[in-house]
Amino acid sequence: MRAYIKRIIAKKANKQWKRKLKWKAGKKQKKRYKSSLDSLHSQLNHTYNIQHANFVKIRPPKNFSFVANSNEVIGFINKVFECFLKRQKLFIRFREVEHIEYDALVVLLSILVRFSSHNIQFNGDFPVKRLPAAVLKSSGFFEYLYEKFMIRDSYVLNAKSRIHTHASKHVDPSLGKTIIRDSSETIWGENRRSQGVQRAFLELMQNTHNHAEIGKEGDKHWWLSASHSKSKKKVLFSFVDFGVGVFKSLDSKKEGSKWGAWKKLMPQKHKYSNNAELLKLILNGELHKTVTDKPYRGKGLPGLKLLLERNQISNLYIITNDVKADVKNDIYNILDSNFSGTFVFWELNEQNLSCNDTFKDSESIFNDSWSEK
């Protein structure tokens, strides 16, 4: 009996010993792997540092979303812009980024095209995390950047990616048709028209053409980007120009002119203490009403709020100078940093108004048609 117990104990001890040896070997292997990885990383870092020694390295915020993290993204954009102005080579370290939205990529893209067109070198890496890396790759962002850009009036960045980007200095009504058709396929699975989105395009393009640069028309590019989400049946639109922005444009109105009187008239009729409160008044048509003494009829940037109210678009955000407006939720905030330009973001989804691609012809009820003469 005793011999039997001894045998069992010996067998157990043997098993334990073997398990310990296996664990030790595994630990040794892990240690070896880690040290080789460290050395690989350090080698890569070394190569990276040598290759990009004279590049300015800038890290985007971990949450790289212009709408959700406006302050940090503006801070980052301003740094990138500073590099451009100083003609410094730029390396963007996406490595630590945890979340990426297309709205921020579009803004960055519109600046990096300037680097390319002015022959200023730039480069970047990918986020370590799988999800933001996938967003960055699927956006076609780097494919765009490998293209050689020249300084010109319009750009079409339409690679096989999820963001389709167009830029121009002029009002381009036919572009809207193409973008809306593509969007309606994603949302409704058929060709439809969205007069609301087309009006948003026209008002914003015209706004950039006429007001982005003080005293000069058609001087600044607008950038329009549509990112499609087939699974959520929606398309997100980002429109950006790097003009002077709403408030600087207003400040530049000459005294004695019709719109120059706003500075005097607005405080007499309305109470506001900062630009956030002023933007709310502007979007409600109060600036127009005060200056012209007439009801507001939806012109320009404030007209976008009407589109939201008519359910022609959803989730409207406006960022300009030091203000961010979440128009749908009526939240207007002052930002820490100044964004030199105007950024407008909205969504088109299944619930928004749209029209069939074919329309009922009214000609049959008329005896005569001007078009046939």
Partner 1 sequence: MTLLKIAKVFSTTPGPRSESEGPFSGQLFRKTVLAPAVTKAIEQNEILTIDFDGTEGYGTSFLEEAFGGLIRNEKISHAALNKHLQYISKEEPYLIEDILEYLCDAEKNIEQAK
What are the residues binding partner 1 (CB under 8 A)? 170-174, 176-177, 180, 193-199, 202-203, 205-206, 209-210, 217-218, 294-295, 297-300, 303, 310, 355, 359-363, 366-371
Cβ proximity to partner 1: between 143 and 217 the closer is 217
Dihedral of alpha carbons 294, 300, 302, 307, sign: positive
Please list, residue by residue across 252-283, b when 16 or more beta carbons sit within 10 angstroms of its beta carbon and e when fewer do.
ebeeeeeeeebeeebeeebeeeebbebbbbbb
Side-chain half-sphere CA neighbours of 9 within 13 A = 6
Phi, psi of 229 (to 5 degrees): -125, 95
Cβ proximity to partner 1: between 86 and 360 the closer is 360
Q: How far is the CB of 130 from partner 1 (least distance, A)?
A: 40
Q: How far is the CB of 121 from partner 1 (least distance, A)?
A: 35
Cβ proximity to partner 1: between 126 and 259 the closer is 259
Cβ proximity to partner 1: between 36 and 356 the closer is 356
Q: Give CA–CA dist 78/80, Å, rounded.
A: 5
Answer for the pair 64, 101: CB distance below 8 angstroms, yes or no: yes
Q: How far is the CB of 358 from partner 1 (least distance, A)?
A: 9
Cβ proximity to partner 1: between 88 and 210 the closer is 210
Which residues on neighbouring strands pair with residue 223, listed in sequence order? 167, 240
Nearest to 115 by CA among 139, 146, 73: 146
Cβ proximity to partner 1: between 215 and 295 the closer is 295
Q: How far is the CB of 214 from partner 1 (least distance, A)?
A: 17
Cβ proximity to partner 1: between 146 and 359 the closer is 359
Q: Give CA–CA dist 200/226, Å, rounded.
A: 13
DSSP string, 80-107: HHHHHHTT--EEE-GGG--EE-HHHHHH
Cβ proximity to partner 1: between 111 and 224 the closer is 224
Q: Give CA–CA dist 302/340, Å, rounded.
A: 19
Q: How far is the CB of 371 from partner 1 (least distance, A)?
A: 4
Q: How far is the CB of 70 from partner 1 (least distance, A)?
A: 28
Distances (CA, A) of 165 to 65, 149, 357: 17, 14, 24
Q: How far is the CB of 140 from partner 1 (least distance, A)?
A: 26
Which residues on neighbouring strands pair with residue 229, listed in sequence order? 234
Q: How far is the CB of 243 from partner 1 (least distance, A)?
A: 15
Phi, psi of 126 (to 5 degrees): -105, 155
